């Protein structure tokens, strides 16, 4: 029996062409399905991944917990500060604390989107249904990133509104030098600039969704849930923790670097309370850096996914 | 149609699949047999493009798997390891697969009904029994109404009713003109389902033959005769042109002899018979003999020998004669070598 159609150009499902070979066992003609079939493309993969992500409990859980942490902690800190005098903290900065915990949920979900398929063997079914592995990875990345960005941004907007509502009537105490907080006050009341609003909502949402996407890529590299989550927690927390222990003069430069490029510093800078020495940092350059790192790791994950057996 | 050409897979220094070349044709059920670790599952993973062959290739209707544009329409597969997320409801599991191939959503319900899971469509597979999980996997394979179906040990965990169901299903799928490729390590199971047979051992092709030919080759019978006067009986048989050979417990075994004739011969000469029975080598036995040299994981047989156990099926003891003990029959000359000879001559 010769192997035919090596170029792969032949029309799919052309039974006549094959029947021309004749000598079918039992004289049975090849089966032809009445079900209409479409040539698959990225759209199919996107719809499929959307169904997948919304039909597992881990998605609902991680995102609900994230939402509750961000909004809940944001509300409690704002409540605690309201009524007091201005603390010197930007109006919307209270959202950071909840998000620092909430981002762990997004990281977990990002990892699970890929590793749960390896853990259950679902990845074999997925790649059998869609052998274009890059398409699967892209669809997962797009669907997860969209969902993470929208939910995180929503949580951040809500928190920012709460902060603004509860703390917006704080006045500048007489001992605070107006020069040091130019732009933070308007008519004696605390306000947030447009840039601050953008950073504390869309910026924070983008940043955390990117961290989640990085987690997804790390999950695709390591193919192991616990390993990938641990790695990502290390990436997020370790630079700061290490910096805390670097006290000597000789280590000052390393310490500064670690603080500057710590993923937590990027987030804090978006809320205008950077941990590095540059107190004017807006966090956007660090967000750009995170995007580049994420794309690089995704590219590595893509290359390995195509190379490895599943 | 699935075509394998010199398909080879090496894991480290372990050659799991070694130069397999054969074609699985439509319209019949093709059984894929081999002992544990023979490389059946590995071969099937390579067919689906999940594992990259070290050498050689596989074509699905002439194309590489990755070139298939509507893969679930071309080939549906049930793999050994359950490829299902335990937390995703059965319906949603099939839905996401259907969507990835642009299959109409109504097929999800149809597929669930085909395997009898319509009542648990909203349940999570985590809580499914082994058999239900297997049925969900089969539903996924049938989802795209594919021209080729490939099942890796589909009867695993199924009850007798389920086994009967899948056997009928596979035969029906083949009758519709589809290619059905199914692995098993049970020859007896395959004998009732498959029309064609591919046998591998330690990754190598041992047989690629029709089931009927396999049966014809292996249902060779011999007649077992026990008598208090074996010498006299042997002489009688030899005179009659038969070729008796000594068997276990002082019995005589006559290849291709027929029992009535031997009985009449004994009666005519007044020889007392204690046993006169036709012995049929079981297909299971033939399969084991074929793969004996290539079985990787022998269980040590009781008594310390390392030969694989040889079951005895279909023995027909003479009325009144003692039941012949298992394994007592003289095995026919090594069937596997015989086949290899024929194969050599053919190719
Ligand atoms: N991913 C892998 N890495 C290393 N070795 C492997 C891998 N997959 C299979 N093997 C080895 O390849 C050989 C063939 O395995 P395979 O699972 O294909 O056998 P099988 O015929 O399906 O066996 P069984 O009847 O038990 O299912 C085995 O020795 C196995 O240990
Ligand atoms: Mg197997």
More confident residue, B317 or A283: A283
Q: What is the model's pLDDT at position B326?
A: 40
Burial of residue A146 (number of CB atoms within 10 Å: 0-12, 13-18, 19+): middle
Reading the block at residue A76, the tokens are 């409690």
| Closest residue in B to A13 (Cα–Cα) | B74
Give residue limits of the domains in chain B.
2-216, 222-279
Write the CATH number of the domain with boundaries B222-279. Answer: 3.30.70
Q: d(Cα B47, Cα B45) in Å, to the nearest integer? A: 5
Nearest alpha carbon to residue A61 among B258, B53, B87: B87
B289 lines ligand 1 (CB under 6 A): no
> Mean of the pLDDT values across residues B167-189?
92
Q: pLDDT of B228-281, one tens digit each?
A: 998 999 999 998 888 888 888 888 988 877 889 999 999 999 999 999 988 877
- A positions 187-246 inside 8 Å of B (CB): none
Pairing of strands B252-255, B204-210: unpaired
Q: What is the model's pLDDT at position A186?
A: 66
Supply the DSSP string of B36-92, one letter for each residue: TTSSHHHHHHHHTTSS--SEEEEEETTB-GGG-SSHHHHEEEE-SS----TTS-HHH
Supply the DSSP string of A9-47, one letter for each residue: -SPTT-HHHHHTT---GGGPPPP---S------HHHHHH
* Residue B187 pLDDT class (50, 70, 90 cuts): confident
> Mean of the pLDDT values across residues B36-44?
95
Q: Does A49 sit within 8 Å of B61, measured CB to CB?
A: no
Within 8 A of B47 by CB-CB distance, chain A residues are none
Nearest alpha carbon to residue A294 among A201, A217, A239: A217
Q: Which of B42, B45, B51, B181 to mutate to test the pocket of ligand 1 (most atoms within 8 A of CB)?
A: B42
- Smallest CA–CA distance, residue A230 to chain B, in Å, is 22
| Closest residue in B to A112 (Cα–Cα) | B85
Q: What is the model's pLDDT at position B325?
A: 40
This complex has an ipTM of 0.86
Q: d(Cα B65, Cα A132) in Å, to the nearest integer? A: 10
- For residue B185, the ligand closest to its alpha carbon is 1
B166 lines ligand 1 (CB under 6 A): no
Q: Does B73 sit within 8 Å of A37, measured CB to CB?
A: yes
| Closest residue in B to A121 (Cα–Cα) | B83
H-helix or E-strand spanning residue B230? helix B230-239
Q: What is the model's pLDDT at position B8?
A: 97
Give residue limits of the domains in chain A.
42-307
More confident residue, B40 or B302: B40
Q: pLDDT of B152-171, one tens digit each?
A: 999 888 889 999 999 999 99
Average pLDDT of the residues of chain B = 84
Query: In degrees rounded to 5, what are phi and psi of residue B199?
Result: -115, 130
Domain B2-216 of CATH type 3.40.50.300: yes
Q: What is the model's pLDDT at position A173?
A: 65
Q: Does B102 sit within 8 Å of A38, measured CB to CB?
A: yes
**pTM for this entry:** 0.83
Residue of A13, A31, A48, A136 to mutate when probing chain B, most B C-beta within 10 A:
A31
Nearest alpha carbon to residue B26 among A35, A10, A13, A127: A13
Q: What is the model's pLDDT at position A221?
A: 97
Up-side HSE of residue A128: CA atoms within 13 Å toward CB? 32
B11 lines ligand 1 (CB under 6 A): yes
Q: Does B92 sit within 8 Å of A51, measured CB to CB?
A: yes
- For residue B17, the ligand closest to its alpha carbon is 1
Residue of B85, B151, B195 to mutate when probing chain A, most A C-beta within 10 A:
B85
Angstrom CA distances, A292 to A211, A232, A237, A296, B56, stand at 11, 16, 20, 6, 39
pLDDT above 90 covers what percent of chain B? 59
Q: Does A125 sit within 8 Å of B50, measured CB to CB?
A: no
DSSP letter at A8 equals: S
Walk along chain A (310 residues) and give the pLDDT tens digit of each residue: 443 434 434 344 434 434 444 455 556 677 888 877 778 999 999 999 999 999 999 999 999 999 999 999 999 999 988 877 777 788 888 899 999 999 999 999 999 999 999 999 999 999 999 999 999 999 999 999 999 999 999 999 999 999 988 887 776 666 666 555 655 666 667 777 888 899 999 999 999 999 999 999 999 999 999 999 999 999 999 998 888 888 888 888 888 888 889 999 999 999 998 887 777 888 899 999 999 999 999 999 999 999 999 9
- Smallest CA–CA distance, residue B211 to chain A, in Å, is 13
Q: d(Cα A255, Cα A242) in Å, to the nearest integer? A: 8
* Residue B303 pLDDT class (50, 70, 90 cuts): very low
């Amino acid at each position: 029996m010769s192997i035919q159609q090596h170029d792969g150009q032949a029309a799919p499902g052309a039974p006549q062409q094959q029947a021309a070979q004749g000598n079918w066992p039992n004289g049975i003609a090849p089966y032809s399905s009445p079900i209409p079939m479409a040539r698959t493309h990225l759209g199919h993969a996107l719809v499929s991944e959307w169904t997948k992500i919304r039909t597992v409990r881990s998605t609902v859980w991680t995102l609900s917990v994230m939402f509750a942490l961000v909004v809940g902690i944001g509300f409690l800190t704002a409540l605690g500060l309201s009524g007091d005098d201005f603390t010197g903290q930007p109006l919307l900065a209270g959202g950071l604390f909840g998000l620092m915990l909430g981002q762990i949920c997004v990281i977990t979900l990002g990892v699970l989107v890929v590793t749960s398929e390896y853990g259950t063997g679902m990845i074999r079914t997925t790649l059998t249904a869609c052998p274009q592995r890059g398409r699967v990875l892209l669809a997962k990345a797009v669907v997860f990133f969209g969902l993470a960005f929208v939910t995180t941004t929503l949580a951040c907007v809500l928190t920012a509104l709460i902060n603004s509502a509860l703390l917006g009537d704080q006045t500048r105490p007489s001992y605070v030098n107006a020069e040091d907080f130019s732009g933070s006050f308007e008519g004696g009341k605390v306000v947030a600039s447009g840039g601050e609003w953008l950073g504390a909502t869309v910026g924070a949402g983008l940043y955390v969704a990117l961290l989640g996407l990085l987690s997804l890529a790390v999950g695709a590299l390591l193919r192991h849930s616990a390993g990938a989550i641990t790695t990502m927690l290390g990436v997020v927390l370790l630079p700061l923790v290490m910096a805390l222990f670097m006290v000597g003069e000789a280590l000052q430069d390393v310490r500064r670097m670690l603080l500057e490029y710590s993923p937590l510093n990027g987030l804090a800078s978006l809320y205008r309370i950077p941990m590095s020495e540059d107190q004017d940092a807006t966090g956007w350059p660090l967000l750009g850096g995170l995007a580049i790192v994420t794309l690089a790791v995704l590219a590595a994950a893509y290359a390995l996914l195509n190379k490895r057996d599943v | 149609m699935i075509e394998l050409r010199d398909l080879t897979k090496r894991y480290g220094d372990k050659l799991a699949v070694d130069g397999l070349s054969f074609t699985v044709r439509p319209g019949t059920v093709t059984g894929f047999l081999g002992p544990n670790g023979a490389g059946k599952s590995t071969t099937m993973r390579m067919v689906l493009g999940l594992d990259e062959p070290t050498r050689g290739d596989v074509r699905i209707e002439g194309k590489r798997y990755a070139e298939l544009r509507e893969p679930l329409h071309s080939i549906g597969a049930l793999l050994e390891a359950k490829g299902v997320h335990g937390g995703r409801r059965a319906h949603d599991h099939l839905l996401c697969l259907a969507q990835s191939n642009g299959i109409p959503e109504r097929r999800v319900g149809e597929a669930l009904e085909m395997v009898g899971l319509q009542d648990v469509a909203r349940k999570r597979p985590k809580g499914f029994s082994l058999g239900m999980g297997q049925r969900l996997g089969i539903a996924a394979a049938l989802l795209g109404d594919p021209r080729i179906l490939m099942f890796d040990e589909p009867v695993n965990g199924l009850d007798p009713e389920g086994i009967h169901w899948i056997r009928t299903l596979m035969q029906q799928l083949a009758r519709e003109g589809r290619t059905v490729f199914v692995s098993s390590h049970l020859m007896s199971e395959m004998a009732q389902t498959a029309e064609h047979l591919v046998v591998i051992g330690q990754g190598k092709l041992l047989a690629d033959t029709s089931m009927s030919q396999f049966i014809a080759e292996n249902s060779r019978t011999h007649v077992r005769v026990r008598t208090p006067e074996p010498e006299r009986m042997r002489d009688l048989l030899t005179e009659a042109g038969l070729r008796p050979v000594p068997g276990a417990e002082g019995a005589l075994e006559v290849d291709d002899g027929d029992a009535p004739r031997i009985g009449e011969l004994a009666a005519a000469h007044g020889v007392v018979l204690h046993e006169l029975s036709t012995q049929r080598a079981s297909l299971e036995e033939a399969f084991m003999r074929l793969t004996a040299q290539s079985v990787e994981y022998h269980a040590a047989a009781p008594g310390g020998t390392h030969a694989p156990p040889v079951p005895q099926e279909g023995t027909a003891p003479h009325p009144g004669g003692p039941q012949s003990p298992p394994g007592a029959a003289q095995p026919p000359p090594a069937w596997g070598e015989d086949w290899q000879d024929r194969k050599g001559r053919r190719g």
